[in-house]
Each structure stands twice: as C-alpha cells, then as structure tokens.
Amino acid sequence: MKPLADALNTLSRRLPEWGVWVLGLVPLVWLAGQVVSGSVLVDPVKTIEHDLGKTGLWLLFICLAIPPLRALTGVNLVRHRRAVGLLAFLYIALHLLAWIWLDMGLLIGQALADLVRRPYLFMGIAAFLMLVPLAVTSNAASIRRMGRNWRRLHLLIWPATILAVLHYLWQMKIIRTEGWIWAGILVGLLIWRLSHAKIRARR
C-alpha cells in the first residue's frame, strides 16, 4: 500500500493546479459536445441540469474525502483541494444557471412559482448560497486575513453538501439505488469527520 501511496503523492506534487482544472472541466466539455452534436435528443434541458448538478456533487464529495483519504492511506491531495472545491462551485453555479435560463427562460415569476411547487429547490439554492462565501475566500489572501476564522467558515461545506444530497434525493419520485449510494457515502464521511474531531479534541 505504501509504494502506491508514495507514487500517488509524487504524481500529486507534480500535477499543477491548472492540470486539476483541465481534468475537472472534461465532463463539461463532454456534455457540451453531446449537446452540440445532438446526441442528447430526449429532454436535453433536463440532461444538462442533471449532469451539471451531479458532477458538482461528485466534486463536493471528493473535496470532503481528501482528509480521510490522507489519514487512512497516506495519499495527500490537500494541495488540490481548493481547485476541486472551486470546480464543484462552478458546476453547481452552472446547474443553477441552467435551471433559471434554460428551464425557466429567465422568467423570475415562473421560477418563484416553481419554488412553491417543488420545495426541494430551496435546499439546492441554500446549498449554493452556502458555497458562495467559500468560493470567494478560496485564496491565499483570505486565508492570511481571516486566520482561524477561515477554517470555521469553510466548515459550511458540510451543511452545503448535506442540503445538496437532500435536494438530489427529494427530486426523485422514488429513490433509486444510486441515491442511496450518495446518502451512504455522505453518512460515512460524516462519521469519519465526527470521530476525527473527537480524537483531536481529546489530544
């Protein structure tokens, strides 16, 4: 296990931040290519919304999984966590934009009526609003200026992810296996976080 961890850590150190962005934008380019080529024939708006939101959720999970991955395997991807978090914010922002622009046609009244009919949308919007200050402060200047408060602020990623998962599950008429997998991963990450926090508190 250690040789693999060492190899992955070497690869992580050599991977520049722009390389993370290139990898992270691959799903967006793939989706755009499908739309342009006409491959998405059945409900393209729903497909665009769904794929953008799900990719953003995956990236949030990756962001949360970096610390336990380091603790359990020795693989250190912490230096790329900021880029992954910003990519997650980008996809979730595009997901929201797709709903307002493509689905609602920029009609605010219609969007508000949709919020009343589908309350799970409030959870998605609340998750996005929690991520806004995290994206704005994801820079070295904010870390220096805010000190310990920066870490406290960035704990918002947990309630934001919880709300995002609830948003995803609630919009399903029947929760499929994939939904329960999302929920299971989130519970596992939460258990690790709470147990790790207790260990640190005792020390």
The closest alpha carbon to 138, from 156, 122, 124, belongs to 156
The closest alpha carbon to 79, from 20, 157, 24, belongs to 20
Residue 53, both tokens: 């939101």
- Tell me how far apart the alpha carbons of residues 68 and 48 are, in angstroms, rounded to a whole number: 31
The closest alpha carbon to 33, from 25, 22, 21, 24, belongs to 25
pTM for this entry: 0.89
55 C-beta neighbours (distance < 10 Å), count: 23
pLDDT tens string, the chain, 203 residues long: the values are 566 665 666 666 777 888 889 999 999 999 988 888 877 667 788 888 889 999 999 999 999 998 888 877 777 888 889 999 999 999 999 999 988 888 777 767 777 777 777 888 888 889 999 999 999 998 888 888 888 888 888 889 999 999 999 888 888 777 778 888 888 889 988 888 888 766 665 65
Is 77 within 8 Å of 12 (Cβ atoms)?
yes
Which residue type does 4 have? L
- Tell me how far apart the alpha carbons of residues 156 and 117 are, in angstroms, rounded to a whole number: 27
